[in-house]
C-alpha cells in the first residue's frame, strides 16, 4: 500500500494487468494463429479480485469489473480477509461466480461497519449492469467521512495496541511458527487479548484478530473446515 507524499491519500498501484479502456482493441489484436490465444482474451487479473464476467470470459476488463474488484478490496480492508478464498484458483472462482461470501455472519458481521457492508453488497453483484458507477460509490454513506476529511483518521488506543502486536507477528512470524500453536495462543491470551479487553474491545472482534494472526503465522484459514469440505466435494465430482 502506498500513500501520497502528504500522507493524506492512499494510493494503490498495480499495472500488471491494467488496460486503457479507450484502446481495448490493442488487447484484442491477433497475436498468432493459435485459437487458444483468442478464446481467453477477457480472462485477466488476480483470481481473488476478478469479476465473474471476466472469469467466465464473457466480458473484458471494464469500469464495472473494476467496481467488483473495489468491493473485494473494501471487504479485505474492513475484515482482513478476502471474501472469496479457496485452496486453488478453481475453488476461488466457484465462490466468486456464485457471489458466495460471508458478510452477515459472525465475526464478519461485527467486524465490518454497517456503512461498509452496505456498499460492499452493492459492489459485489453478479450482473455488471447492476453495479453502481464510481460516482455513485463516492456519494455513498461509507465515503462521507472520507470526502469531509483532508487527513487519515487517528487510530484509537486499542487500534494502536493491536497494530504494534500485528507488526510483531509480521516481523517474527517464523519464530511463532517454530514455537507452535499452543505457545502462540498463550502469547496471544497474555498480551493481545488482555490489551484489547482492557480497552473494552468485544470478544468476537478479539477472536477475529486471533484468527487473522493464525492465518498469517500458520496459514490456517478461519474457514479451514468449510474450505476443505468444498475441496473434497470438487475432488469427488471430478471422479
Tell me the per-residue pLDDT of 163-201, one tens digit each, with 9 for 90 and over.
888 888 888 888 889 999 999 999 999 989 998 999 899
Q: Please say which residue of 128, 148, 168 terminates a domain.
A: 148
DSSP the chain: -EE-TTSSSEE----TT---GGGTHHHHS--SS-HHHHTTTT--S-GGG--HHHHTTSS-S-HHHHHHHHHHHHHHHHHSS-SS--SSHHHHHHHHHTT---SSSTTHHHHS-HHHHHHHHHHS-SSGGGSPPHHHHHTSGGGHHHHH-SSPPPPPHHHHHHHHHHHHHHHTHHHHHHH-HHHHHHHIIIIIIHHHHHTT--HHHHHHHHHHHHHHHH---TTHHHHHHHHHHHHHHH-
Residue 202 C-alpha cell reads as: 468485544
Could you identify the residue written with the cell 514455537? 179
Q: Which residues of 91-114 are buried (b: 16+ CB within 10 A; e: fewer)?
A: bbbbbbbeeebbbeeebbeebbee
Q: From 96, 116, 148, give the residue that closes a domain.
A: 148
Instruction: Answer yes or no: do 71 and 174 share one domain.
Output: no
Do 127 and 186 have their domain in common? no
**Residue that terminates a domain, selected from 96, 127, 148:** 148
**C-beta neighbour count of 215 within 10 angstroms:** 16
Q: Report pLDDT for 15.
A: 56
The CA-atom distances, in angstroms, between 129 and each of 72, 152, 204 are 18, 33, 36
pLDDT of residue 18: 61
Which of 63-67, 103-107, 109-113, 234-238 has the lowest average pLDDT?
234-238
Same domain, 87 and 195: no
The model's pTM is: 0.83
For the chain, give the percent of residues with pLDDT over 70: 82
* pLDDT (average), residues 71-82: 95
Convert the pLDDT of each residue in 27-57 to its tens digit: 555 555 555 555 555 667 789 999 999 898 8
Most distant pair of Cα atoms in the chain: their distance: 66
User: 22 and 127 share a domain?
Assistant: yes
Domain that holds residue 188: 157-224
Same domain, 84 and 13: yes
Whether 239 maps to a domain, the answer reads: no
Q: What is the pLDDT of residue 58?
A: 83
Q: Is residue 235 part of a domain?
A: no
Assess if residue 236 is contained within a domain. Answer: no
Instruction: Judge whether residue 6 has pLDDT over 80.
Output: no
* Residue carrying C-alpha cell 470526502: 147
pLDDT band at 128 (very low <50, low <70, confident <90, very high): very high
Predicted local confidence at residue 137, as pLDDT: 94
Question: How large is the average pLDDT for residues 143-172?
Answer: 82
Residue 8 lies in a domain: yes
Amino acid at each position: 500500500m502506498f500513500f501520497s507524499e502528504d500522507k493524506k491519500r492512499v494510493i494503490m498501484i498495480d499495472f500488471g494487468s491494467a488496460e486503457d479502456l479507450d484502446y481495448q482493441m490493442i488487447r484484442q489484436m491477433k497475436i498468432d494463429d493459435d485459437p487458444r490465444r483468442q478464446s481467453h482474451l477477457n480472462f485477466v487479473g488476480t483470481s481473488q479480485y476478478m469479476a465473474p464476467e471476466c472469469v467466465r470470459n464473457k466480458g473484458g476488463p471494464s469500469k464495472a469489473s473494476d467496481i467488483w474488484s473495489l468491493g473485494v478490496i473494501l471487504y479485505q480492508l474492513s475484515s482482513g480477509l478476502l471474501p472469496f478464498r479457496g485452496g486453488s484458483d478453481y475453488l476461488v472462482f466457484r465462490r466468486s461466480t456464485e457471489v458466495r461470501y460471508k458478510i452477515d455472519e459472525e465475526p464478519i458481521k461485527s467486524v465490518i461497519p454497517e456503512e461498509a457492508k452496505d456498499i460492499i453488497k452493492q459492489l459485489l453483484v453478479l450482473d455488471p449492469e447492476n453495479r453502481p458507477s464510481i460516482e455513485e460509490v463516492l456519494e455513498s454513506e461509507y465515503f462521507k467521512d472520507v470526502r469531509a476529511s483532508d487527513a487519515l483518521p487517528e487510530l484509537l488506543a486499542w487500534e494502536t495496541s493491536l497494530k504494534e502486536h500485528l507488526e510483531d507477528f509480521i516481523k517474527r512470524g517464523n519464530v511463532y511458527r517454530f514455537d507452535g500453536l499452543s505457545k502462540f495462543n498463550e502469547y496471544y491470551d497474555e498480551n493481545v487479548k488482555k490489551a484489547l479487553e482492557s480497552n473494552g474491545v468485544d470478544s468476537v472482534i478479539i477472536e477475529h484478530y486471533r484468527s487473522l494472526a493464525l492465518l498469517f503465522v500458520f496459514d490456517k484459514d478461519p474457514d479451514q473446515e468449510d474450505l476443505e469440505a468444498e475441496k473434497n466435494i470438487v475432488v469427488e465430482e471430478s471422479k
